[in-house]
Structure 1
Amino acid sequence: MSLRFLPLLSAGLLSIATAAPLSAAPKAAVPPARASVDIRKATQVRLLNDLNFGYLSVTTAGTAVMNPNTDALTTTGGVVKIGGNPYSALFEGVSPVKGVVIVRIPKNPITLVRVGGTETMTVSNWTVDGSNSRNVNSKEPFDFKVGATLFVNANQVEGVYAGTFTVDVQYP
């Protein structure tokens, strides 16, 4: 009997040795991964005053520059200030969190169009009073002023010119 048993035993061992290796069963991460989000209100920004270059007279091309740090208007070339009350644009913001906010002013020029006409001027070289980065407290108002340079053409047609620009406030 022992002679028959040996071949059967070696055949069984041979089949075990040539079988494919077993794969480990998948295991879940311990602990399981989580997903989360923190939804907050956006910073609120409101316009308090528009950017106003006042009343200008033009003989040749030039500029009118509104400085938001001083609210002073300076002119160059044939552009002369003749009145009005020029001032920087004034905005008020409220951040939902304490931290640093970034005031983003336009990078590109905007076009002012004469009311009732097609004549244009451009405004660019945007500036903000102080720094674009501001430390603010949660839910407390902060303000900032925006100035720019108005480029006036020679023989600019008389009239009121208007256009719009956008500012954004980014918080962490």
Structure 2
Amino acid sequence: MFGKYRIAILGALALAAVPAMAAPVTPSSQAQSRALILVPLTLTKIDDLRFGTVVPSSLSGMVSINASTGARTIAGGVTGVPSDVGQRAYFGGAGTGNQQVIITYVQPTELTSTTNSADKIPVLALTLDGSPIRTINPVTRTFFFGMGGIIMINADQAEGLYEANFDVTANYQ
């Protein structure tokens, strides 16, 4: 019986003699991990359409996001902020290989300020990155598409965050 206690005490002493380890440090930035799971006959939004940050002037202008590349183009009296260039909307779906899907959407007429609902930005167009008729990949049984758009920034547009929702539908044939 004495031997068992003696081993336990020696083990405790050995643990107590271990030098103290440095305290864990919280990382200064976080990483994100993601997995996309596509269920057959569904449509999943991967990314929102964002026009980025712009600075208006006394002249009106336009901001465009390319549906294929996500690149932003600015015209007229608008200056783009390089640190927030926006992005295209991106969607994915799944179904039977070689099945055709028709993509439809309802374009909002305007973006509305989140702080003053009287402030609006006209939406001139939403665009797809190709034909609205897609064929589901026979190997992966998936399809993907991007959406861009064009908005009109009015002269002396009030500052703020502007947003609107739009509906996108995948009609499986």
Q: Give the TM-score, by structure 1 length.
A: 0.69
Between the aligned partners of 2:97 and 2:69, the Cα distance in structure 1 is: 29
Between the aligned partners of 2:130 and 2:77, the Cα distance in structure 1 is: 30
Amino acid at match of 2:80: K
1:12-161 equivalence runs, <5 A? 43-59=41-57, 60-83=59-82, 84-96=84-96, 98-106=98-106, 108-118=107-117, 119-137=119-137, 140-161=141-162
Between the aligned partners of 1:71 and 1:137, the Cα distance in structure 2 is: 23
Larger radius of gyration: 1
CA contact (8 A) 1:105 1:128 kept: no
Amino acid at match of 1:49: D
Q: Report SS of the residue matched to 2:62.
A: strand
Between the aligned partners of 1:157 and 1:89, the Cα distance in structure 2 is: 25
Amino acid at match of 2:76: G
Amino acid at match of 1:55: T
CA contact (8 A) 1:109 1:124 kept: no
Task: Give 1:94 deviation, angstroms.
Answer: 1.4
Between the aligned partners of 1:124 and 1:50, the Cα distance in structure 2 is: 18
What's the CA shift string for 1:74-121, capped at 9, x where partnerless?
Answer: 111101211304110011111256421111133x44321111112111
Aligned residues: 131
What's the CA shift string for 1:38-61, capped at 9, x where partnerless?
Answer: xxx982011111101111011121
Does 2:168 align with 1:167?
Answer: yes
Between the aligned partners of 2:95 and 2:77, the Cα distance in structure 1 is: 43
Between the aligned partners of 2:142 and 2:85, the Cα distance in structure 1 is: 26
What's the CA shift string for 1:13-61, capped at 9, x where partnerless?
Answer: xxxxxxxxxxxxxxxxxxxxxxxxxxxx982011111101111011121
Between the aligned partners of 1:97 and 1:170, the Cα distance in structure 2 is: 15
CA contact (8 A) 1:110 1:164 kept: no
CA contact (8 A) 1:105 1:127 kept: no
CA RMSD of aligned residues (A): 2.0
Task: Give 1:130 deviation, angstroms.
Answer: 2.2
Give the percent of matched residue pairs that are identical in Structure 1 and Structure 2: 29
CA contact (8 A) 2:43 2:92 kept: yes
Task: Give 1:140 deviation, angstroms.
Answer: 2.0
CA contact (8 A) 1:61 1:155 kept: yes
